[in-house]
Structure 1
Amino acid sequence: MIEIGQLPNARAAQAFVDYLTGLGIESYIESLPQGVAIMLVGPQHEDTARSEFAQFVLHPHDEKYLQASWDNGNTQTKFDYGSGTLGLVQQFITGAGPLTLITFFICVLVYALMNLGMGNTLFSALSFAGAVPDSDVAEIWRVFTPSLMHFSAMHIIFNLLWWWYLGGKIETRLGSRPLLFLLLMAGTLPNILQFFITGPNFGGLSGVVYAVVGYTWLMGVRNPNCGIGLPPSYMGFMMVWLVLGFTDLLGMPIANGAHVGGLLVGLAQALFDSRKPSQV
């Protein structure tokens, strides 16, 4: 038996198995501690199956997979979705890797503490050099830690949803290395750029979010079989949001330098990683 990939959702996996059945490729689902694996019965069609799996990961809602379930699905197949809350928690955990989740919860913790009377203390400790008295560039962590601070519910929800969705895709399909690079580079260089544009009073994971947006989109364009990608409509929305940040229409201060800098970091890393698929 040959494993060609893993998915967090058993029903989605069954749709893909039904699709392979329609292609004359015999496969089945094997349960894992987190999610399921797609297993081939024999090696005869391995290359085709792997190529089709990569396309399924990019476009799981394509009508052809739904049609395959109608045409080839087994009505006796049963799925264990777990209890409602437990199922959502499981999907949240299996949809991301450890780096994605750790960063997610650190940001949530910092935001919670800042709203529980520790705002000034945390801002003094995490803000960019020069934002508070007696802080300077010798405290090297300050080029990164502003990325962990958020100043409104909308701010943190927007950033963390994108971080979990795209960071989770990158980490579960390409590994932690490219995501760690994006987090460190897009969590520091855009902050430095933002400092020179507006000064030291800023924060948020937006630069990193735009880095994973740019990385995911360009990797999907240049290397469609890598297992990640971003639909043009999603990329278009983020570009519209980026442009709106340079206007007064959003009614809030926007770290435009961090957004642009993060996007450039993500695109540059995607250009490097997509030179040869094997190098990712």
Structure 2
Amino acid sequence: MNTHTKLVAFSKEQPARLLSLYLNAQGIQVEYSKLESDYAHGVMLFDSADLEKAKAIAEEFVLDPNNAKYQSAAWDSGESVQLASDSSFAVDNFLLALIRTPFTAGILVTCIVIYCLAMIGINGPYSWLQIEPLADLAKNWQWWRLLGPALIHFSAMHIAFNLLWWWMLGKQLEHTFGTSCLVLLFGFSALISNVAQLLITGPSFGGLSGVVYALVGCVWWLGWLKPSWGISLPKPMVGFLLVWLLVGYLDVLPVNMANTAHTAGLICGCVFAWLLVSRANNSISR
């Protein structure tokens, strides 16, 4: 007699198989099963003791089934599962992700609005957010400018690159650890990376990339320090971003890179990940 518990079901086979591979990679024993129902493709859980953890992973998967970590787990198991495109499914999940991760969505929308306003000649937000020398800030007390550069961008490629990574990594962290955690990481990394860049090159810079590198560092180190949490970046992606960081220092690109902000942000993210893991370990030991 089959006593397996149905964890979740899908109308298509590919997501059910992909989630099954990922759960098994996380040490949660499941199997794919074809069901006799409208949602005909199920993920069956072997041990009910894993139900809560498996549900949390399944909910995260439904929000972002195209996250690279799922395909990475499939590759590690020797398989590759390509999700079929489904525009209505994608739109529904995007809207759900916007609701479930309000801070990630808020920063995304804010950056887009500020950039679009600048494109039509409304530069007020740029001048209001541009960072100034610390001596000037000590006189005018406009300390918000220390965070401001994270919200302004200067080209379509600049904003597209930053917001793609922000959306992919930010919503993963916010969904897992909560909005307050992502707010803290954003504030911490934006402040440190912007001040570091200001001290090295002066006030003429902007972009979310310092924060993005903090997200990269945080997710990268969480995958290394606490793999059981299921948060990680595939090694090729980490390698690409570290090489991109190095290329910026070589000064061979046609644009000026905020290299100091990138490096400081990366370090902030690694430190933040270490603090998260240390706090969790201390809570367990008490």
1:87 match = 89
Structure 1: 5+ residue stretches without partners:
30-36, 70-78
Is the Cα contact below 8 Å between 2:114 and 2:126 reproduced in 1?
no
With normalisation by structure 2, the TM-score equals 0.73
Alignment partners' CA distance in 2, 1:20 and 1:255: 39
The CA RMSD measured in Å over matched residues stands at 4.3
The size of the alignment, in residue pairs, is 258
Matched residue SS, 1:246: helix
The aligned runs of 1:1-280 (5 Å cut-off) are 11-13=14-16, 15-17=18-20, 25=30, 40=45, 43-44=48-49, 46=51, 59-61=69-71, 62-63=74-75, 84=87, 86-95=88-97, 97-119=101-123, 121-130=124-133, 138-275=141-278, 277=280
Is the Cα contact below 8 Å between 2:17 and 2:32 reproduced in 1?
no
With normalisation by structure 1, the TM-score equals 0.75
Matched residue SS, 2:122: helix
The 1:50/1:277 distance shift into structure 2, 3 A limit, reads farther
Is the Cα contact below 8 Å between 1:162 and 1:209 reproduced in 2?
yes
Is the Cα contact below 8 Å between 1:18 and 1:68 reproduced in 2?
no
The 1:102/1:239 distance shift into structure 2, 3 A limit, reads same
Alignment partners' CA distance in 1, 2:56 and 2:102: 27
Give the structure with the higher percent helix: 2
Alignment partners' CA distance in 2, 1:102 and 1:20: 31
Alignment partners' CA distance in 2, 1:239 and 1:6: 38
The 1:26/1:13 distance shift into structure 2, 3 A limit, reads closer
Q: Residues 71-117 of structure 1, C-alpha deviation per residue, up to 9 Å, x if partnerless? A: xxxxxxxx9986x2x43333334456111111101000010001111
The 1:48/1:162 distance shift into structure 2, 3 A limit, reads closer
Alignment partners' CA distance in 2, 1:40 and 1:250: 50
Alignment partners' CA distance in 1, 2:51 and 2:275: 28
Alignment partners' CA distance in 2, 1:45 and 1:223: 18
> In the alignment, residue 105 of structure 1 is paired with which amino acid?
V
> In the alignment, residue 111 of structure 2 is paired with which amino acid?
C
Alignment partners' CA distance in 2, 1:140 and 1:19: 44
Is the Cα contact below 8 Å between 2:218 and 2:270 reproduced in 1?
yes
Alignment partners' CA distance in 2, 1:98 and 1:63: 32
Alignment partners' CA distance in 1, 2:92 and 2:78: 24
Is the Cα contact below 8 Å between 2:30 and 2:44 reproduced in 1?
no
The 1:113/1:12 distance shift into structure 2, 3 A limit, reads same
The 1:171/1:19 distance shift into structure 2, 3 A limit, reads closer
Is the Cα contact below 8 Å between 2:22 and 2:70 reproduced in 1?
no
Is the Cα contact below 8 Å between 1:223 and 1:277 reproduced in 2?
no
Is the Cα contact below 8 Å between 2:137 and 2:143 reproduced in 1?
no
The 1:3/1:184 distance shift into structure 2, 3 A limit, reads farther
More displaced 10-residue stretch of structure 1: 45-54 or 137-146: 45-54
The 1:255/1:13 distance shift into structure 2, 3 A limit, reads same
The 1:139/1:68 distance shift into structure 2, 3 A limit, reads closer
